[in-house]
Chains A and B, each alone.
Chain A
């Protein structure tokens, strides 16, 4: 082979001590099977985020498959020190679809290329400028291999089954295969092959008519493979190539002609036109046989007619794969080239359901009317009873010696006369044809011993004599006890390796404490992750609910990443209880002592829980009116656990009729008189917090005696948020009823059912807005739209038709000047009249 991978790069720079180039090759070699040759190893790299990951691209050829492939291994370090460092990445079969494309369009680096296969690609690889010469060599070698593959017969099915060992086949399987010798034993099996060109003669009647042909061996065989050519098939059955009726009589006769006293059973019979093959086995053997498959290849006129060609049956007996082929190759003297082509056509075109080809079997038996003749020569060949002399002129022997056909096949000594052409019903040659050894039995594979090979002169129906061959074959078989022991060892070892080599990371803390956390004040914290194992590690935060790895008030950066060996990185957490997330935080606080638990997941490894805690400084924003009405001091004097208790308090007793914080805001706004003008510009504006918002927050949360610290607009915004941020809308649980109320009176019935704090807040608010509208400070429609959506916020109802206009209409009922209605609302005693009414119940 001219493709010798002379250059095996080890990737070390010149400063490193020189590593013998052989070591990389030897290490990589351990990953491949004995009959696989490494032709080239090219060191490339891939980019994974900011990291460079070395990839060894190994160009390898398989003797059994007769094909080439590139297997890409990622490795953690170069030069390699052990085979365990090689992790199989992609596998590229070099077939018609395979492409190696140099890519000089991209700007990242000139040294890059793509690999494509039928299943993969394009996969991008890079190489260092110093490797350019090697790349060119690698490129040329790959191109050469592909050219070789496309040059061989177009109709040949390329065999890449050997690559399956490198595609996701479990470690256990690979390991078990490696240790095969420890548990495999060989089962002695007798195989009886027989072939006969019956010249379209019908099967003879009589129960043992074929016994002279099929019961010749000393002992009864385990397996029969019987091939017939020129089987008589009625014209109408020719069309349906598997008409069983046409074969039935032959099959019956065969079964009846087997050894008496031994029970045989048909495993499979198969016919393509006049070429027929049957495999019959001893009955008990049947349960040791699996994966019986058959197929055919037509040859003859236009390679399609099927008057010539081959059929084959593939089977697995214990751990051995056996293939029987029966073929009828091109006839006539001088046609040896056509016969060779027929052979190539069959061997290249025959593949079974599982992709296996003829050559993928441990034991192959090829029988049939191969039609090779004795060479015509003057003077006529010697006496017809001297096979040795005749065989000097045998075309098949000559073609095999010249590697023109049946490469790797063997044949036994021929001690019988030529089997063709006889005058039917006699032992006389029909001398219009040169007598020849047309009917042959060949074999290929391991552990096959020929015991007998002969023709049957006594059978005279046809112009051919039948031939048979008896073989002793040692079939690979598992010793169950040994297998079990090895399997257990392998499983243990694989488990151990899997568990010991599990990717591991360490974190410097599992509790992230944000300390004091306040509404509308972001803060950050971080922790570090370290890669403590000898592998690259990928980590990510696991989703706990749909699409969420953490609570909405938290942000994680990065959410996923990779760590090379011995590296570390920080993971930043940002906590921000803002208008969008405060209700979520309060809900969490109500039921938990922490803010969140994050799940840091190591790919193929464990999960680490990261608990996020802090000390939330309670604020009025987000609290329900009920909760605020239970406070006895400023919220700034409450701790997180105290507010938790307060939020979980469901008693109907309230300290005040409405929250002081709400009352103070209304009071402040009211006192601003005309300055309130336009203070509620729109519903949408409520969430864009003003710069002085936190001053208002503190003023409210401390029950400050100081003058109001911010603008009117900020006070208006704070009012909107105070109403909007609690988890439940102020008018729940009656939003739906209220939206559907036909009149003020009907709505009022539901308002009366609200909890006292909510009812009082609502009535007080309406009165305040009405006064503002009457004074011309607010546009009624605008205010109705804004407050309507806040007070009647409902995710269920928002889908109703006209939801927005209904909200607005509802609000208008309550903020229009209507003295009479207000009078009805005063029963509660709170919220009546003016702001000067005391807050205390």
Chain B
């Protein structure tokens, strides 16, 4: 493209062409963040519940913090690298980043509340964290799917919302949450909310990149 005079039709063509080139497209590795949190949450849940079954000791619940430790440190590194590499920031990037910052802040707040309640002698206070992990994260995943028009995220998020709602109803109804049905429920949620959409997004991005 050069610096030259144009006619009115060419003006319109340039505007249309540039809008098309800046359309939000998937980038390779877009699904990595979902995969990181999905696999970490799944592995830590399996580990924590196994230790709980074996030891029967409530202190095993401290292992849940491994999700934060691993997920938080690795995702901070991914974000930093992404910011350095990224050459364009769209309005959708802003909304998505704001959405997940909000979810992250809520998670920190709920973790702190649960911790205080546990130290004050509260029982089963970590159920709130479980409801958060499924319901709130499910809503955020579904919203992101609506924003970037990805059906797999909307569907996966909806599964998470449903599972979160089940756990919430049981907790409010005073029915104790058994590991034997809770773990499969959590596993199904994390797989459908984070792991499956993460792989789908990465696959789509790779395909799009090959096409271009």
Q: Do A and B come from one complex?
A: no
